[in-house]
Amino acid sequence: MSPFLAELVGTALILTIGTGVVANVALPKTKGNGSGYLAVTFGWFAAVFVGVYASSAASGAHLNPAVTIGLAVAGKFSWDLVPSYLLAQLLGAMLGAILAWLAHLQQFNETSDAETKLGVFCTSACIKHPVKNILSEAIATLTFMLGVFYITAPTQSNGAMDALPVSLLVLGIGLGMGGPTGYAINPARDLGPRIVHAILPIKNKGGSDWGYAWVPVVGPIIGTIIAAYVYMWLG
């Protein structure tokens, strides 16, 4: 599998499971309706585990523009490869969101609240304040990326367990820092599904909240750049 395809497939797996668990919790007439924030955070934990394990051998399992950009800033990844990785991640996120929507199509049709439907696809702030929302995303992504920089590949593979450290890192960030904005920490994870929400023929949907859409893109990019320089400074 090529690195481009691995990034696309890995990101699609993350979003199929991650968006799917949000749909299962948020939409009515599902087995998981109302099961709460813990179910969402553990769902994303499982999603990242599967995506990383599926793609790590072929592409390094970035699956996140913040990871790709941060590694490039730190000199650990070629800038020449950045555009293709970012495109693969965005397309994979869109594909995963579409699959999650199809899996819950009846539940979407039964849901009248447009905000609930949008929340399945993308993040939003509990208290909207652009500067403070960006700060929340930047700090969460800074924490995530510092963890990524210091997670080293083992000298001997442990199979699926190789994907565990970064998955646990995402779980911890979701539990500890996810409350204010829903912890995008991944521009593709938010932008891809938001685009899908805008173009899909979802029954009784509202707008895609483009006024907020830049926050989960800019915040993680700021966070990952700071993390890269902190990592280089620490040596």
The CATH code of the domain that includes 73 is: 1.20.1080.10
Instruction: Say yes or no to pLDDT of 155 above 50.
Output: no
Mean pLDDT of 142-148: 95
Instruction: Say yes or no to pLDDT of 194 above 70.
Output: yes
Q: How many domains does the chain contain in total?
A: 1
Q: Which domain holds residue 175?
A: 3-234
When pLDDT is cut at 50, 70 and 90, the band that residue 161 belongs to is low
Distances in whole angstroms, Cα of residue 208 to Cα of each of 53, 132, 161, 212, 217? 31, 21, 37, 9, 15
Task: Name the percent of the chain lying above pLDDT 90.
Answer: 91
0.85 surpassed by pTM: yes
When pLDDT is cut at 50, 70 and 90, the band that residue 187 belongs to is very high
Of 36-40, 47-51, 91-95, 162-166, the range with the lowest mean pLDDT is: 162-166
Residue 159, classed as helix, strand or coil, is helix
Sign of the C-alpha dihedral computed for residues 75, 133, 218 and 27 taken in this order: positive
